[in-house]
Structures are given as C-alpha cells and as structure tokens.
Amino acid sequence: MSRILVVEHVPHEGLGMIAQGLSGFDLEYMRVYETGKAEVSPEGYSALIVMGGPMGVYEADIYPSINNEMELIKEALKKDVPVLGVCLGSQLLAASAGARVYKGGKKEIGWYNVSITDEGSSDRLFLGLPDEFPVFQWHGDTFDVPSNAVNLASSDLFPHQVIKVGKRAYGFQFHFEVTEKMIGEWIEINEGELKAADIDPKKIIKETPEKIEGLHRLGRAIVQRFARLID
C-alpha cells in the first residue's frame, strides 16, 4: 500500500474530508505541534500533504519546523513526489519553489467565490468542473506565483488561489477539506481574530449549510484526481 506523509501544524486543522478520498492509502502523520520539528526527506513516501495552520511562512524564527518543512517540500519537488498543500501548505509550497509569501491587504475569512483561470480549466484537477464556485477561506497571507508554476484559480481579494508547481504539486489557498463541525470549531477557537478582522461569525454559520455540500462535491473530485497522480 502506498504511503502518504501528512503534515499537521495544529490539532484542529486536520485532513477533514480529504481522508475519505484516500482510504486506499497508508496515511502517516507528522504532527509538528507535538514534536516541534519536521522530517526533511520524502524518502519512502508516495505523496506529501501539508495542511494549514495559524503561523506564517516568514515566522521561522518562532516556528523552526518551517525551515524543515520547506526542505521536505523542496526534496519532494526535486524527486517529483506529488504534493498537496492546503492554506499554509500552499504558502509553504510557493516559498519552497522560490516565491515570496507575505501578508495580504485584508483577511479573507468565510465563504467567497473563486474563478478558474484559463490554465486551470485545462488542468486535470479542474477539467469539467464549474468555472466559478464558492469555497471556504481562512487566511490573511498570500504568495506570488513561482517561476516554474501556473496559477489555476483566483478570487476578488486574492488573485492566487491555486498553484501548480511542476507536474504533480498543487497548492490550494482555500479550505476544501472543512466539515461543518470544523468550521464551528475554528470560529470558537479564533473568536478574537474574527473580531479584529471585523468578520461576522453569524454570517459564516448561516451560509455554511447551503454551501458546504457543493464544496464537498468539489473536494471529492479534487482528491480523487490527485490520488490518480500517486504512483
């Protein structure tokens, strides 16, 4: 059975519904919030998944594991190991491929539409999917597109939403893995952040039931297609 290394930064930002599409794989977890460090080699793994977290790529002085993770991602890119990055994971992928990661103009938290770019419409992960759809966002940082990458999706606030680096590495700024329970937990944990960003949690809670099933359909398609890239 193929082994996938899953990197988690905080307990409440796990695989969510992504795990459902990977039932045929052996998932091994590297929980840096427990160890404070990360492995730096993808040797023995058929894919790498890097999840989200509240830290910034530029905070390696506070979170030393960030440098370890970037070495891990660089090695995966060099060896053409499939990579899937979500939120912080996408920013780490961008930085590992040589791009700048930085704070955006404002925070994008809640339900927002993203649009597929021309490059995205012909990519295997999005082929045949809608040109525009609502997704769940929770981030304030953004990134430039690396020189060896293409941008596959955009939103009004943040133009770089999905990047593809090389042939089999994808970074998603938005959260397609979330469940309704996860969203409720994030709102409770990050009450102060929402208040500071002038984000209404009641609006998020109200919109979630009507939009999350569509997000899950999208997420299932993405995970199934990513799984086909894994040797």
Considering only CA atoms, which of 146, 131, 135 is closest in space to residue 177? 135
pLDDT tens-digit profile of 180-207?
A: 999 999 999 999 999 999 999 999 999 9
Percent over 90 (pLDDT), the chain: 96
| Angle (deg, nearest 10), helices 201-227 and 180-189 | 130
Q: Which of 8, 69, 108, 177 is catalytic?
A: 177
The mean pLDDT value for 11-21 works out to 96
Q: Is 210 a catalytic site residue? A: no
Percent over 70 (pLDDT), the chain: 100
- Check pLDDT > 90 for residue 40: no
Which pLDDT band, with edges at 50, 70 and 90, does 215 fall under?
very high
Q: Is 87 a catalytic site residue? A: yes
Q: Which of 8, 87, 108, 139 is catalytic?
A: 87
Q: Which of 139, 160, 175, 216 is catalytic?
A: 175
The rounded mean pLDDT for the chain is 96
The mean pLDDT value for 9-36 works out to 95
- Distance, in Å, from the CA atom of 14 to the CA atom of 120, rounded to the nearest integer, reads 26
pLDDT tens-digit profile of 105-128?
A: 999 999 999 999 999 999 999 999
- Distance, in Å, from the CA atom of 50 to the CA atom of 155, rounded to the nearest integer, reads 22
- Check pLDDT > 80 for residue 82: yes
Paired strand residues for 29? 6
CB distance 5 to 45 below 8 Å: yes
pLDDT tens-digit profile of 154-172?
A: 999 999 999 999 999 999 9
pLDDT tens-digit profile of 41-67?
A: 999 999 999 999 999 999 999 999 999
Which pLDDT band, with edges at 50, 70 and 90, does 38 fall under?
confident
Residue 36: per-residue pLDDT: 83
- Check pLDDT > 90 for residue 103: yes
Q: Is 175 a catalytic site residue? A: yes
HSE-up (13 A, CA, CB side) for residue 176: 27
Residue 1: per-residue pLDDT: 76
Report the 3 state secondary structure along the chain: CCEEEEEECCCCCCCHHHHHHHCCCEEEEEEHHHHCCCCCCCCCCCEEEECCCCCCCCCCCCCCHHHHHHHHHHHHHHCCCCEEEECHHHHHHHHHCCCCEEEEEEEEEEEEEEEECHHHHCCCCCCCCCCEEEEEEEEEEEECCCCCEEEEEECCCCCCCEEEECCCEEEECCECCCCHHHHHHHHHHCHHHHHHCCCCHHHHHHHHHHHHHHHHHHHHHHHHHHHCCCC
Q: What's the pTM?
A: 0.97
| Assigned architecture for domain 3-227 | 3-Layer(aba) Sandwich (3.40)
- Distance, in Å, from the CA atom of 174 to the CA atom of 162, rounded to the nearest integer, reads 8
Residue 28: per-residue pLDDT: 96
Considering only CA atoms, which of 67, 5, 12, 37 is closest in space to residue 189? 12
